[in-house]
Amino acid sequence: MQFNITQKYIAGLIALLFWVTMLVIANTFSGTGDEGDSIMHYLYARAALKQPIYFFDHWAKPVYVLITCLPAQFGFKGIQIFNITIQAVSIFISFRIAQLVHIKQAWMAALFLAIFPHQIIYALSGLTEPLFAFALVAILLLWLKQKKTIALLVLSFLPFIRSEGLIVIVVFIIYLLLKKEYQRIPLLFVGHLVYTLLGVFIYNKSIGWTLIENPYAVGATDYGKGPWDTFIVNMRYAVGIILYYITGLGLLLGLVFSILKFILKKEVNFSLEFLFLIYGIAFSIFFFHSFAWYKGWFHSFGLLRVMVGILPLIAIICAKFLDEIFQYLPNNKTTSIGFLCVICLLIFFNFYKKKYAIPNKDILSLNEDQQIQNEMAAYINKQHREFKTMPIYFAAPYISIALDMDYFDRKKHPDLNVDYPNQLQKPAYLIWDDWYAPVENHVYLDDLTARKDIKKIKTFSKKENGYDKIRTTILFKIE
């Protein structure tokens, strides 16, 4: 069961196969991973070269925009290729981290991360989670390789990729205090200092803009709330059904080893770095999102995709558990065969077409609302070509891609949220969809159809696959 000589090549091959496979999937299927934030992050990154203020937009995430603004110029496929590439690199880095924390079969971390369903789904997105995961494992690798100053400087900018970076900083502060490395703590504030000064001197922002403008620094919001165990129950969709239980056992193992190592002072293969930088960060982010959704705080919507940012850590935890289990078994041919059978079983269950497995072609394709928005775009281009000279109101981000127009051009795409109901420009088109228009902009269909100055032109609808819900997009003309 000795793979030490070839582990590097195994992990590299896994990362390469993931990269090639995902590139094929990206060019075969048209899905965007998510029809909302995924599209909006791409649109901000694409527009930033023309409108540099977006390099300082807290929702868009300044460092994310800075890094992705060039890939975004190649269209949404450019963002997909970027995310696929950094996720492939994250797979290999996860293996290296597993090695550095003394997991003997470290290649398993690479394998598990590569076959997590959400790793695949959101590689096809424009979301910030893949970049956050990549930055996180890069920081941990630098730290474990004793490049501590660089690691902390990079970490100081992590909140400008995703706000959970603040949680990671807090974990590191506690860890540094326990290690009595007090002199390193100020490095964790460099990112906020740099962006504060740049915002103040370039755009006359307030001195506290990096905190004040954080869109998630709020209490209760209108997104709702849910059960405290929502993420616990749903994680099986993110990692697969068998690896879901292995994750739980891995967390239990961490608790047992923590007691043995730090309370009972026993010799076990478990370090303070592993406790804080793997278990600590993963648990803190998981707990934060669970609590936020339970309380209905911080604009939480209970979306499982936020866990993509810690999937590399979960893969390492799974690898740690299996590694420890098989170390206690006899080192013979029977054990080796059993070990490989377990790995094959894990792969099988994550590719077997059930609801907790690798997504099927429907999930990798455009959602039904995006499909009908493409139909609407084809119709309006053919039957209402004058739309190119008129303002168009809409709320669903994907419509800007379907119509090939600049989402942020307020002459062409005025703000529906600002102008509705009493300041709508005339003549203009209005595209109502069944989610973003009512939920985000509070534009309700009954109100539109009751107005004499707004004429319904055509309705586009499609049944949502696997559900009874009918997705609807309607084209109106304001006269």
Q: Where are the domains of the chain?
A: 7-363, 368-478
Q: How far is CA 141 from CA 135, 136, 150, 374, 421, in A?
A: 10, 9, 11, 43, 53
HSE, CB side, 13 Å, CA atoms: give it for residue 430: 28
Residue at token pair 């934060």: 288
What confidence score (pLDDT) does residue 3 get?
44
- pLDDT one-digit tens code per residue, 155-195: 999 999 999 999 999 999 999 999 999 999 999 999 999 99
b/e string for 112-129 if b means 16 or more Cβ within 10 A?
bbbbbbbbbbbbbbbbbb
Residue 403 — left, alpha, or beta (φ > 0 → left; ψ -120 to 50 → alpha)?
A: alpha
What confidence score (pLDDT) does residue 390 get?
93
What confidence score (pLDDT) does residue 1 get?
45
3-state secondary structure of 49: coil
Q: Which residues contact 368 (CB under 8 A, 6 or more apart)?
A: 462, 463, 464, 465, 471
What confidence score (pLDDT) does residue 395 get?
95
Contact 308, 129 (CB under 8 A): yes
| Nearest C-alpha neighbor of 64 from the set 33, 82, 41, 81 | 41
318 token code pair: 């799974």
What confidence score (pLDDT) does residue 218 get?
59
Q: How far is CA 327 from CA 192, 260, 324, in A?
A: 45, 18, 5
What confidence score (pLDDT) does residue 65 get?
97
289 token code pair: 């999102």
The pairs formed by 141-148 with CB atoms below 8 angstroms and a separation of 24 or more are 141/93, 141/96, 141/97, 141/100, 143/273, 143/277, 144/97, 144/100, 144/101, 144/273, 144/277, 145/100, 148/184
Q: Which residues contact 327 (CB under 8 A, 6 or more apart)?
A: 104
119 token code pair: 């790793």
What Rg value do the Cα atoms of the chain yield, rounded?
24
Q: DSSP code of 297?
A: B
272 token code pair: 């303070």
HSE, CB side, 13 Å, CA atoms: give it for residue 374: 11
Stretches in the chain below the pLDDT threshold 70: 1-5, 217-223, 353
Q: DSSP code of 464?
A: P
What confidence score (pLDDT) does residue 5 get?
60
* Helix 148-156 vs helix 190-203: crossing angle, to nearest 10: 40
CA 185 to chain CA centroid, nearest Å: 27
Contact 437, 420 (CB under 8 A): no
Contact 358, 239 (CB under 8 A): no
Q: DSSP code of 53?
A: G
